[in-house]
Amino acid sequence: MIDITDWMPAAVRTLDDAFGVRLRFVGLQGSYRRGEATEASDIDICVILDRLEPEDLTTLRAALDTLPEGTKAAGFVCGAAELRAWPKFELFAFAQDMDAWHGELAPLLPEITNADIRLGCRAALAALYHESAQTLLLAPAWPEAAVRDAMHSLSKACLRALQGRIFLRTGAFPRDRAEALRRARPEETDLLRAANDTRRPLADIAAACLRWSAAGLAEL
């Protein structure tokens, strides 16, 4: 597995060589940022250019592929104008789940209000609710590999929704799963641990996520 503290500076140098002054921001998100990566984890890199043309993605792919395990590197790629026009309710959590390695993200974002943040938290709960319901509906027919993927996906969706709920309640956005567990209420701690427990039946995890997200939507 790569050492992300070595890999990201190398990535920044490679992207700077590829794009020069057009490179506005490079950041890291996801499991490598949270310190939870495994051998199977993707490298969730964020790249913001002055503008984004289709051929830039070919250049980006070629640049990343020169790095160790660069084929695992994927993530959010955007032009600066499109980022400023992005739905603002999605941008609060996006910005919180980010370590900057080149440039600053905040000047590239539109103004994000409390109403935007609250809507983003509701959207995360709604996404968890929908995914949980679809899992309960479809999972009985899934093979073992699909069940494992669904557990992983529900675990991530649960963490995203819980981070938002904790922020609304405390004003602090948990950086990772461990901090979310420290700041969570007892019932939320139980849910997050259950969602990350691969020994639990998928149907039990999905049912718990469905009930919790439904309650959260009603509250917000």
Written in H, E and C, the secondary structure of 109-160 is CCCCCHHHHHHHHHHHHHHHHHHHHHHHHHHHHCCHHHHHHHHHHHHHHHHH
Nearest to residue 123, comparing CAs of 86, 155, 93? 93
- The arithmetic mean of pLDDT across residues 99-121, rounded, is 97
Q: Count H helices, E strands: the chain? A: 10, 5
> How many whole angstroms separate alpha carbon 168 and alpha carbon 118?
7
- The arithmetic mean of pLDDT across residues 96-102, rounded, is 97
Percent of the chain with pLDDT over 90: 91
Q: What is the pLDDT of residue 205?
A: 94
Q: Which CATH superfamily is domain 4-88+97-108 in?
A: Beta Polymerase, domain 2 (3.30.460.10)
Residue 107 amino acid letter: P
Place of tokens 């600066």: 80
Neighbours of 140 (CB within 10 A): 10
Q: What is the pLDDT of residue 32?
A: 95
What b-and-e string marks burial along 30-63, b requiring 16 or more CB atoms within 10 Å of the CB?
bbbbbeebeeeeebbbbbbbeebeeebeeebeeb
Q: What is the pLDDT of residue 27?
A: 98
- Is the pLDDT at 198 greater than 90, yes or no? no
- Is the pLDDT at 108 greater than 90, yes or no? yes
Q: Are the C-beta atoms of 49 and 102 separated by less than 8 Å? A: no
Q: What is the pLDDT of residue 40?
A: 86
- In tens, the pLDDT along 142-157 reads 999 999 999 999 999 9
Q: What is the pLDDT of residue 92?
A: 95
Is residue 26 packed enough to be buried (19+ CB in 10 Å), middle (13-18) or exposed (0-12)? buried
> How many whole angstroms separate alpha carbon 52 and alpha carbon 81?
9
> How many whole angstroms separate alpha carbon 107 and alpha carbon 179?
27
- The arithmetic mean of pLDDT across residues 130-145, rounded, is 94
- Is the pLDDT at 1 greater than 90, yes or no? no
- The arithmetic mean of pLDDT across residues 92-118, rounded, is 97
Q: What is this structure's pTM?
A: 0.90
Mean pLDDT, the chain, rounded, equals 95
- Is the pLDDT at 209 greater than 90, yes or no? yes
The kind and range of the H/E element at 193 are helix 186-195
> How many whole angstroms separate alpha carbon 178 and alpha carbon 11?
27
- Is the pLDDT at 107 greater than 90, yes or no? yes
Q: What share of the chain is helix, strand, coil (3-state, %, to 5)?
A: 65, 10, 25
